Structure 1
């Protein structure tokens, strides 16, 4: 662990967190706040993004460890909100919306893993 890697995580995390805030607020305005659309969108797009990055690292991009850490641990780590996912699922149950909670949790996991697989396959199919 070097100061350069720590700065890469911190800078990427700051950017990812700001992006998460904007997506969360924008989703609330677009779709309402009864269902945690923002967190769902963030988790799925974050999973896709990290899948695309990892695929590009393996197939196309010759990036330094610092840049790889900046993009994955920093930006993606700051952007994705799996802990918020858990809290949102709980809040839906607490409000008596058990079916919505179940649908939200299943959709979050299935779509996020699917997005990651799609990104890896997409990147691997690039010329």
Structure 2
């Protein structure tokens, strides 16, 4: 049988070296900030659901707005952290994966769509299904375009608007 070489820190017998301490030292903080951001984002989503509760058989406006607003925020964030800032390495995991991942809720979107697939609400289900997809993608595109436009305008006119400079 050929010899198998394992990564450093991994032993072939039980009770020997455990690879997790080195792994956690390298990646643990990322997991912690993602979890923290996700918890805060989920609380924000819960607040939105309390403000706009979904009634059975009706269009789920709370979830729809949560997902569209979250996608818009993702578009703004991605432009800022990939094109503008040289931010800390934990900003993207905390805000993008954690907070906005916890805030948006595409699993609820799927469940609500399924629940609307009943006689009398099938059109609402398909409207919600297509409407959320289109609105979420449009929100990301609008956010990216708007953020880049605002940033470009600030680069061209760093002191303010044309009227202020005249």
TM-score scaled by length of structure 2:
0.71
The structure richer in helix per residue is 1
The counterpart of 2:47, out of the listed 22, 34, 38, is 22
Shift, 1:39, TM fit: 0.8
Runs of 4+ in structure 1 over 4 Å off: none
Q: 1:81 matched to which residue of 2?
A: 105
Shift, 1:95, TM fit: 5.3
Distance 2:86 2:132 in 1: 31
The counterpart of 1:109, out of the listed 116, 133, 141, is 133
Q: 1:64 matched to which residue of 2?
A: 88
Shift, 1:87, TM fit: 0.5
Distance 2:102 2:134 in 1: 21
1:5-16 equivalence runs, <5 A: 5-16=30-41
Identify unmatched segments of 5+ residues in structure 2. 1-25, 155-166
Bigger CA drift: 115-124 or 53-62?
53-62
Bigger CA drift: 61-70 or 84-93?
61-70
Superposed CA RMSD in Å reads 1.3
Bigger relative contact order, structure 1 or 2 (CA pairs below 8 A, ≥6 apart): 1
The counterpart of 1:43, out of the listed 55, 58, 67, is 67
Aligned length in residues: 124
Distance 1:67 1:89 in 2: 33
Is the aligned partner of 1:92 residue 2:92?
Answer: no
Q: Do the aligned partners of residues 81 and 98 (structure 1) sit closer, same or farther apart at CA in structure 2, a change above 3 Å counting?
A: same
Distance 2:73 2:85 in 1: 15
Shift, 1:88, TM fit: 0.3
Shift, 1:2, TM fit: 1.1
Q: Do the aligned partners of residues 103 and 3 (structure 1) sit closer, same or farther apart at CA in structure 2, a change above 3 Å counting?
A: same
Identify unmatched segments of 5+ residues in structure 1. none
TM-score scaled by length of structure 1:
0.92
